[in-house]
Amino acid sequence: MGDIGDLLGGGINPDDVDGADFEPIPVGWYPVMIDNAEVKKTKAGDGAYILLEMSVLGGDHNGRKMFDRLNIVNKNPEAVKYAVIDLAKIAKALGIANIDDAAQLLNGQLEASVKIDKKEDGDLDNVVKGYRGLKDAVAPATPTATQAPAAATKTATATPPPVVPATPSARPWEK
């Protein structure tokens, strides 16, 4: 047995390993839960940002991770301005009246707008471009005149079901 097999208690068969998918998810709004929110200093030590780690809740991309950096202390006042705007949107979406600690964001559920950016090396990457509350989700389209009136009434009064993780036992607060 080789060194890998010794360390892992056996070899690795690549066909038996379910690897993470790192392809970007499609552009759109996704329900997410904030798994981690941490204030960090910049590498240069002259600024600070909030690093958000979020997981997609439900759908085809359930469990996929996305990240955002909110530059709350930065030499560029525009960076700070947009970080404060995003932080305010997040706080509003989560019903937080006054945010003064990153821990207040933990386990919060909201929707994040995801775009795809091309990195300098040519790889594609997801980027979070906006936030809103789950209740602010876009309502179904207004029925057209060709649809039956009963269907129009039902569509107009329907409320979407609450968003919950597909695997409730995976919620951090239930461990």
Task: Give me the pLDDT at residue 12, please.
Answer: 75
Task: Give me the pLDDT at residue 20, please.
Answer: 58
Domain boundaries, the chain: 21-136
Could you read off the pLDDT of 9-43 as tens digits, one per residue? 777 777 666 555 678 999 999 999 999 999 999 99
Q: Tell me: pLDDT of 173 over 80.
A: no
127 forms beta bridges with 115
Which residue stretches of 67-119 are H helix?
77-94
% of the chain with per-residue pLDDT over 90: 59
Of 31, 33, 65, the closest CA to residue 138 belongs to: 31
Into which CATH architecture does domain 21-136 fall? Answer: Beta Barrel (2.40)
Residue 161 tokens read as: 């079901």
Distance, in Å, from the CA atom of 165 to the CA atom of 145, rounded to the nearest integer, reads 36
72: CB partners within 8 A, 6+ apart: 39, 48, 49, 50, 80, 83, 84, 87
Could you read off the pLDDT of 76-96 as tens digits, one per residue? 999 999 999 999 999 999 999
- Any idea what the Cα angle at residue 112 is, between residues 53 and 114, rounded to 5°? 95
